[in-house]
Amino acid sequence: MTRLPLRAGPLLSRWAAIGAVSAGLPGGVVGLVVGLLVHPPTAWFAIFEVGIPASILGGLVGLAIGAIAYGVRRGFGTASTSTRAAGTA
């Protein structure tokens, strides 16, 4: 099985993945710092307690941005499913 680059995937999935990663990584770091300041023996739990919700929220924001990007592309007739490209108005 070959692995496709992120650019080859659907637009909504790409933006959701970008949002999840770009919010989840800083969320995990913030969770680690807060966990080390509050109670160091359980700091690794804080990584998940902050990182996972941040990742979910980032994925949802990325999904919304991807939907907007898809709508803009479709509105200008550059999406592959556009009826304007086929010549029908």
Model pLDDT for residues 22-63, shown as the tens digit of each residue: 999 999 999 999 999 999 999 999 999 999 999 999 999 999
36 neighbors 43 (Cβ within 8 angstroms): yes
Q: How confident is the model at residue 87 (pLDDT cuts 50, 70, 90)?
A: low
pLDDT at residue 7 above 90? Answer: no
Averaged pLDDT of the chain: 83
pLDDT at 82 (0 to 100): 47
Residue indicated by tokens 């496709």: 4
pLDDT at 50 (0 to 100): 94
pTM: 0.70
